[in-house]
Homo-oligomer: A and B are copies of this chain.
Amino acid sequence: MCCEDRLAAELRQRNMRMTPQREMVLRVLHDLPAGATAEEILQQVASLSPAVDLSTVYRSLDLFESLDLVSSYNGPNNERRYELLTIHQPHAHLQCQRCGKLQTIDLQTLDTVAAELLGSHRFILRSEHLVLPGICHTCSEQQSAASA
Contacts and interface: CB of A to CB of B under 8 A. Distances in A.
Interface of A: 74, 78, 80, 94, 96-97, 103, 105, 109-110, 112-113, 116-117, 120-126, 129-130, 132-137, 140
Contacts of A137: 121-123
A34 B126 CA distance: 21
Given A78-B80, A109-B117, A113-B113, 16 more contacts: A94-B117, A94-B123, A96-B123, A103-B123, A109-B116, A112-B112, A112-B113, A117-B134, A122-B137, A123-B132, A123-B134, A123-B135, A124-B135, A125-B133, A126-B135, A130-B132
Contact of A120 (B97, B109, B140): B109
A136 B109 contact: no
A137 B125 CA distance: 11
> How many copies of this chain?
2
25 contacts: A74-B74, A74-B78, A78-B80, A94-B121, A97-B126, A103-B123, A105-B117, A105-B121, A109-B113, A109-B116, A113-B113, A121-B137, A122-B136, A122-B137, A122-B140, A123-B134, A123-B135, A123-B136, A124-B134, A124-B140, A125-B132, A125-B133, A126-B133, A126-B134, A130-B132
